[in-house]
Structure 1
C-alpha cells in the first residue's frame, strides 16, 4: 500500500471517508458541476445539431444531466462490486461523438426519421456497453492487446476526425446560409481567445471555468448581434420524466462495430483517471485494494453507459477534470458525490435548461469545441510520445493514421467494397483501430529486430524488465494510456 508523504497529506482537508459539513460539501459539489457541465452537455449539442434532431435536444440534454447524476452516485456509493467508492463524476464521453454520428448518418441515409435514428444509436450503445462490463474484469490482460501505441493512435484519430465538426460550427454550422461569414468567425475566435486568456491565469478557478465563461460571454455577444432568438425556443414541458427507451429499441451491426471499437479503449482511459483520483485521494495505487477498486470502477463505467442508453443519453465515462477540483478544494470525500448527484439530477429534470442551451449559436460552440477536440488529438500524441516512437511504433502509427484519415478524406476509396464492409469501414476510427491492433499483434517487438541485427543489449533488456510493473502493479501503464481525459 502506498503511503502519501506529509506534504500530500496536508493538501486534503477532507479525506475519502470524511463527512464535510453541509456548506463545505455543497460548495465543493458546485465547483465539480461547474467544471463538468460543458463536458456533459456538449456531445449532445453536437450530435443533435449535426443529425438534425433539434426538437429532441432539450430532452436529450436533460437525460445527459440526469444520468450523469445517477452514475456519479453509483460510482461513489458502491453497490457490492459496482463502483470505485471514489469522488468520481460520470459524464458523457467525447470519444463516441464521431462513431455515433456515423451511426446516425447511416440510418439517415436509409430514410430513417428522428425516432429510428435515436433508437438505433441507443440500442447499439446499450449492447456495446457490456463490452466494457466484460473487460473490466480483465483489464490487466486487455493492456497487453490494447497497448499505449494502439490507444494513442486511436485517440489521436478521434480528435483529428472531429476537427472538421468544430471548424464547420465555427463557420456557422452544417447547412448554414451564412457559412463562413466574418461575423461567425469573429464570434468563434472571441470565444477561443477568452478561453486561451483565462487559461493563462494562475487562479485555478478561472482555468477550471474558462470554457463555460467563454461560452457565456460568446452567448451574450451573439445575442447582442441578433444571432440568438428566444422566440425560437422549443415548447418544452416544465419537467422531464425519464422514460426507458423513449424512442424505441433498434440494433444494426454496421453501426455497432465502430461503437464497440471505442468501448475497447475507454476502459484504459477510465482506469488512468481512476488511478489519478486514487493518488489524489491518498488511496493505494498498487496491490489488491487498488486492483479491486479499478475493476469495480470500470464495471460501474460500463453499467452506467448501459443505463445511459436506457434513458436516452450518450455513453458515460469517468471525468478527469474533476481530479483538478479535488486538488483545488482539498475535498476528496466521496460523500460530496451525493451532492453532485442531486444537483445534476435536479438540472436534468427541468428541460428548460436544455432548451436555452440549444439556442447556443454554432460559432460560439465551435470556438470552444475546437480546443476540446484539439486537446483530444494532443492527448493521443502525448500517449504516443511516452510509448516511444521507435521504428516499430512509427510503422503502426503512420499506417493506422494514414488509413484512417485517408478514408475520411477520400470516402470514394471504399466504393467497390460490398455494402456490408463499406458501412463498417466508412468510419475512420474503425479503420485506424483495426489497423493499429492488427499491426501491434503481428509486427515483432523492437528488441526482436535488434536480435536479428546483432544489436541486442542483454544488460539493457534486464533494466527494462526491472522497470516494468508486475502483473499486479498496472498503475503506470494505465496512467500512461489514459491519463489525459477525452472530456476536456
Structure 2
C-alpha cells in the first residue's frame, strides 16, 4: 500500500502521464533531452572495445553506427511492447558498459565472430530469467548484484586509465603516459566535473558531451585528429545481419552469461523505478507482466544487437531521472527517441567523427564513468545489512575477482578452457559471490 501511495504521488507531479500524447514541439524537446543524456553512453562501449581490439576506422565507425541503430530499435520495442516483449513504459535501452570486459577478452582470443556469437547465445540466459523472475531473485540478491556491479566498475577502470595514457598503440610506440596524452585526459575529466557540479540542470545533463567536445577541439588544435584519413563522410550505413560472421566459444558464453544474469536483476530494479516515477503500479499482475516483458526485451534486443554487429543492450537508469526532471512519462516520447537513434545510426558520418576521437579524450570521460559504475555497486551493497556472512561473501568475491585482474599469471597452470572462463575478474568474483552467498551459513 505504501508503494501504491508513492506511485500516486509521482503521478500527480507528472505533466504528461504514460499514455498521454504531448504536443509535437514538447515531445521533440523531451526526446532531445533524453537523447543528450544517453548518446555518449551508447557510443562509448563500441569505441572502447574497438580500441582494445585495434580495429580500423571503418570497422569502428560501423560498430558505432550499429550501436545507435540497434539502440533505436530496442527502445521502440521497450516503449511499444510488441506482444509479450517490452515494458510499455518510457524505457530507454542502449549499449551496456557491463559487458565490455568479457567482450574484449573474447575478441582478443577469437575476434568479432566469437564476440557476436557469444553475445547472441548468452542472451538466452536473460530471456530464460525473465520467465523465472521470482526464483532468480532469491539467488541473485542485492548483495550479489552490488558485488558484481562494483567488480565491473573496478575491472573497467584499467581500460579507462590505459585510454588516458594514449591506448594500446601508445604502449608500443613509446608515447604512452606522455604529458600531452595525460594532460588531454585530465582536461576532459576536469571539464566534466566542472559542468556536472553546476546548478544549471541542462549543463549538468550535458556535462559529458561538453567535456568530450572540449577535449576533441583541443586535440584537433594540437594535431591529434587527422580528418584526412577518412575518404568519404557521405552515404548511408545499410545494416547487414551477420556482417562479420558468428562463431561460438564456450568460455566466452559462460563469462557473458553471468553478466546477462546480473543485468536481468539490474533491469528489474530499473523497471521498478521507472514504473514508480511514471505513476504506475510496482506490484501485482500488471507490474510483473511489465517487468518480465522488459527483461525479456533486454535479452531479445541483445540477441538482435549481436545479429546486427552491435553489443548487448540494457535498460538505461539515467533516463528515469530525466522523466522526473521533465515531468514527461509519455511512452510516445520513446518513439521519437527511437527514431532519432535509428536515423543517427544510418549516417556513417556520425560514426566516423567519433571513431577519430583520440583515446585520451575518451579515456578522460570513461575513467569517471567506470568509477561511477563501481560507486553504484558500493551504494547497492551499503543499502544491505552487512553482517558476518555478508563480510565473508564480499571478502571472498573481491579477493578472488581482483586477484585474477591484477595477477592473471595465477591461472597459467590451468587448462585453456578454464583459464579463458576465469581470466575475467567479473566472472570469477561473480561466481564466487553467488556460491558463497548460497552456501555460507552463520548462526548469529
For the superposition of Structure 1 and Structure 2, which TM-score range results when normalised by the shorter chain? over 0.9
More displaced 10-residue stretch of structure 1: 90-99 or 249-258: 249-258
Residue 244 of structure 1: SS of its match in structure 2? coil
Cross-structure match for 1:12: 14
Cross-structure match for 1:361: 358
Cross-structure match for 2:88: 85
Quote how far apart the aligned CAs of 1:76 are.
Answer: 0.5
Residue 313 of structure 1: SS of its match in structure 2? coil
Aligned with residue 230 of structure 1, among 227, 230, 235: 227
Structure of higher CA gyration radius = 1
Residue 412 of structure 1: SS of its match in structure 2? helix
Go from structure 1 to structure 2 and tell me whether the alpha carbon gap of 1:352 and 1:388 turns closer, same or farther (over 3 Å shift). Answer: same
Cross-structure match for 2:245: 248
Cross-structure match for 1:142: 136
User: How many pairs are equivalent?
Assistant: 438
Quote how far apart the aligned CAs of 1:163 are.
Answer: 0.7
Residue 79 of structure 1: SS of its match in structure 2? coil
Go from structure 1 to structure 2 and tell me whether the alpha carbon gap of 1:327 and 1:420 turns closer, same or farther (over 3 Å shift). Answer: same
Quote how far apart the aligned CAs of 1:389 are.
Answer: 2.2
Cross-structure match for 1:46: 48
- In structure 2, C-alpha distance between the alignment counterparts of 1:249 and 1:219, rounded to whole Å: 34
List 4+ stretches of structure 1 deviating above 3 A. Answer: 3-10, 234-237
Quote how far apart the aligned CAs of 1:290 are.
Answer: 1.0
Residue 132 of structure 2: SS of its match in structure 1? helix
1:444-483 equivalent positions in 2, closer than 5 A: 444=441, 446=442, 449-450=443-444
Quote how far apart the aligned CAs of 1:236 are.
Answer: 6.0
Cross-structure match for 2:106: 103
- In structure 1, C-alpha distance between the alignment counterparts of 2:379 and 2:5, rounded to whole Å: 29
- Match status 1:188 vs 2:185: yes
Cross-structure match for 1:35: 37
The answer (yes or no) to whether the contact 1:233–1:356 under 8 Å persists in 2 is no
Residues 119-161 of structure 1 deviation map (CA, whole Å, 9 limit, x = unaligned): 1101110011111111012122111111112111111111111
Cross-structure match for 1:65: 68
More displaced 10-residue stretch of structure 1: 4-13 or 160-169: 4-13
Residues 190-229 of structure 1 deviation map (CA, whole Å, 9 limit, x = unaligned): 1111111111112221111110110011101111111111
- In structure 1, C-alpha distance between the alignment counterparts of 2:232 and 2:51, rounded to whole Å: 17
The answer (yes or no) to whether the contact 2:268–2:291 under 8 Å persists in 1 is yes
Residues 409-439 of structure 1 deviation map (CA, whole Å, 9 limit, x = unaligned): 1111111112221121111111111111111
Cross-structure match for 1:120: 114
- In structure 1, C-alpha distance between the alignment counterparts of 2:384 and 2:73, rounded to whole Å: 36
- In structure 1, C-alpha distance between the alignment counterparts of 2:253 and 2:331, rounded to whole Å: 35
Residue 387 of structure 1: SS of its match in structure 2? coil
Residue 94 of structure 2: SS of its match in structure 1? strand
Residues 83-107 of structure 1 deviation map (CA, whole Å, 9 limit, x = unaligned): 1000011100000000101101122
What is the aligned-residue RMSD (CA, Å)? Answer: 1.4
- In structure 1, C-alpha distance between the alignment counterparts of 2:155 and 2:103, rounded to whole Å: 13
- Match status 1:276 vs 2:295: no
- In structure 2, C-alpha distance between the alignment counterparts of 1:219 and 1:388, rounded to whole Å: 45
Aligned with residue 398 of structure 1, among 383, 395, 400: 395
Quote how far apart the aligned CAs of 1:3 are.
Answer: 4.2
Go from structure 1 to structure 2 and tell me whether the alpha carbon gap of 1:270 and 1:359 turns closer, same or farther (over 3 Å shift). Answer: same
Cross-structure match for 1:212: 209
- In structure 1, C-alpha distance between the alignment counterparts of 2:84 and 2:12, rounded to whole Å: 31
The answer (yes or no) to whether the contact 2:11–2:280 under 8 Å persists in 1 is no
- In structure 2, C-alpha distance between the alignment counterparts of 1:441 and 1:122, rounded to whole Å: 32
Structure 2 unaligned runs (5+)? none
Cross-structure match for 1:267: 264
Quote how far apart the aligned CAs of 1:443 are.
Answer: 0.2
The answer (yes or no) to whether the contact 1:161–1:428 under 8 Å persists in 2 is yes
The answer (yes or no) to whether the contact 2:69–2:341 under 8 Å persists in 1 is yes
The answer (yes or no) to whether the contact 1:3–1:282 under 8 Å persists in 2 is no
The answer (yes or no) to whether the contact 1:188–1:365 under 8 Å persists in 2 is yes
The answer (yes or no) to whether the contact 1:75–1:83 under 8 Å persists in 2 is yes
- Match status 1:425 vs 2:422: yes
- In structure 2, C-alpha distance between the alignment counterparts of 1:25 and 1:149, rounded to whole Å: 39
| TM score, norm. by length of structure 2 | 0.96
Aligned with residue 163 of structure 1, among 157, 161, 164: 157
Quote how far apart the aligned CAs of 1:248 are.
Answer: 1.1
Residue 91 of structure 1: SS of its match in structure 2? strand
Residue 249 of structure 1: SS of its match in structure 2? coil
| TM score, norm. by length of structure 1 | 0.88
- In structure 1, C-alpha distance between the alignment counterparts of 2:250 and 2:272, rounded to whole Å: 34
- In structure 2, C-alpha distance between the alignment counterparts of 1:7 and 1:406, rounded to whole Å: 47
Residues 273-315 of structure 1 deviation map (CA, whole Å, 9 limit, x = unaligned): 1111111110011111111110111111111111111111000
Quote how far apart the aligned CAs of 1:388 are.
Answer: 2.4
